[in-house]
Structure 1
Amino acid sequence: IFIFFVCVTVAAVNAQWFGQMTSEIMADMHLIEQACGLGQDIGLSSNREAYAKLCETDPKYKKLSSRLWLYHLL
């Protein structure tokens, strides 16, 4: 029963907090991508080099990208 409550609590935190945070981060990343002429293609693999270059040149985009990966890992 304890494990059940832990799972329910973790699911609630995930839905309430992590869901909002990842959506906000993705929206901010999309704005940066649009400013650089990216974000119109479907799927990351179609233009992987441009996204890698953007991550190297824009520190804000790099920070957002690393935070997004962190939240996805949790």
Structure 2
Amino acid sequence: MPIWNNGHILGVEETFYDDSLIKTAKKLHDEQRQKDFMPSARLIGEVIGNLPQYHVDAFLNIVSDN
């Protein structure tokens, strides 16, 4: 997967955003009043909204299903 970093395109592994996904999932789960199911769209939207660059949500959706 390519990312834009300091004016250059870099190739990164599919697992590049795993830490962000896990950290965000824990944060959202902690914010729930009743600890329960979390819609994946909420998690993906939160991660994309906090990335320093734009990504198509389809990539994160595909990766998160693996």
Higher helix share: 1
Q: Which has the higher contact order (CA 8 A, sep 6+)?
A: 1
What range describes the TM-score normalised by the shorter chain of this pair? 0.3 to 0.5
Higher strand share: 2
